[in-house]
Amino acid sequence: MSTNADPVTFGEDDYPKEECGVIGISTSGDDAARMAFFGLYALQHRGQEAAGIAVADGRSVRLEKGQGLVNQVFSAGKLDHLVGGMAIGHNRYSTTGANSERNVQPYVVETMHGPLGVAHNGNLVNTDQLRQKLLTRGAGLQSSSDSEVIALMLAAAEGETWEERLAATMPHWEGAFSLVVIAGTKVVACRDPWGFRPLSMGKLPSGGHVVASETGALQTLGCEAIREIEPGEIVVLQGALVRSHQAVPAKEEQARCTFEHIYFSRPDAVWDGLSVHQARQRLGEELAREHPVEADVVIPVPDSSMPAAIGYAAVSGITYNEGFVKNRYIGRTFIEPTDELRRQGVKLKFNMLEENIRGKRVIVIDDSIVRGTTSGPLVRMVRDAGATEVHVRITCPPIAHPCFFGVDMGTYEQLIAHQLGVPEIAAHIGADSLGFLSVDRMMKALGRDDGYCNACFTGSYPVPVQLSLLNTKQRFDGVLG
């Protein structure tokens, strides 16, 4: 499926954009594609611009992919020819200018060892060097994605098996990658040694196995014995059989993405042994302790801030209630709005429950402020609903640095916290007060002292970032997997 219209996002410009979601399935039957379809549905929040599924039957790899949501790409009949017991799938979010058909995953390439399919979640920081090496060797690159670089490097790697080729290639990749590969009679998965992006595995009741970016997708498919794939680990799924080994040593300093707990993952996910819902509730509790304020009601910006608002209300003793009503079906659309509708901005996505707001001092809980483009309109909506005061509380520290590991947050010049201090941001969005959770309190809420990447808050990157990337004045053009 393709469209001439670019997707239009309503009211989400001020939030980080997730990089992607991946799934890999190995069963004893021939319905892996349909299982991948439902798994991608459970991962839809991780990427809404494109989706794809590749299926293997031991002889060939069949592929169906396109731009759009999962149910748009896989309309009636599109799965009928995807017959086989092994499948990989991908949901994509790309940066501006890179949402093109050629960048949609999975990638399927012909190799001397047979067809190979690859789906990738993350971002490599040494893509430029790797691309140049491939071009020097005569490789024909068709896209602007680092995921294609990964696929072509694997295709040319030495080794007797795909897991050996993967193990030989992983040390050359710097940055974030959770990867699923399909070839022959196997699905092979791996995770980078820093552990940036989540990847978990579960056992199907039928005896097969599934790997996915979030545990919620595994639960949707009825998986049991769910565990996290370890950083640097390779897992091979072959029918009912599964084997794994530590391909490269895990880095001493791990770098799990804190934003998985703050915003990206579904609340039913479990990662690093933590319930995401409970982690978000504790973030709200710590926020109440660090930034108390006298008020009458606590309201969340749906949906990821709801557990945090519950936590804030519990510690502060201030009543929790709903204030925003979210239209969950207008977040992304391929229909261009009129100029008049576009000017409505976040009002297209949120309505107010005025009876819960009118005449009250309101605390608004949100998970982040990135560019500062959405928070102001939200504050105005609360005031227009009759609030006498509006106090904004954010469940993470100020985002003052770009992410180079697979999350689109913008560049330095686009990040409001890089340009302004907290009082200036409060004035910019029109809030009576503004409070961000500190790094120390955030990590206390997670119950961790280390093991996480907080570079977007601190500027301390766990992997050296090229100076050219730090100084770029343009967004990445399609390097996100």
Q: What are phi and psi of 157, to 5 degrees?
A: -75, 155
DSSP E strand boundaries for 81-127: 86-92, 107-111, 114-124
Catalytic residue among 20, 257, 396, 453: 20
Specify the DSSP element, H or E, that contains 445. Answer: helix 439-446
Would you tell me how many other CB atoms lie within 10 Å of the CB of residue 386?
A: 15
Distance CA 308, CA 287 (A): 8
Q: What are phi and psi of 213, to 5 degrees?
A: -65, -30
Pairing state between β 452-453 and 256-257: parallel
Pairing state between β 389-394 and 433-436: parallel
Angle between helices 276-290 and 439-446 (to 10 degrees): 140
The pair of structure tokens assigned to 429 is 């969005």
Catalytic site includes residue 20: yes
**Cα angle 450-454-460, degrees, rounded to a multiple of 5:** 100
CA nearest neighbour of 326 among 295, 297, 347: 347
CA nearest neighbour of 337 among 3, 8, 6: 8
The pair of structure tokens assigned to 156 is 């040319």
Quick check: helix, strand or coil at residue 286? helix
Distance CA 47, CA 23 (A): 13
Distance CA 342, CA 3 (A): 20
Residues forming the active site:
20
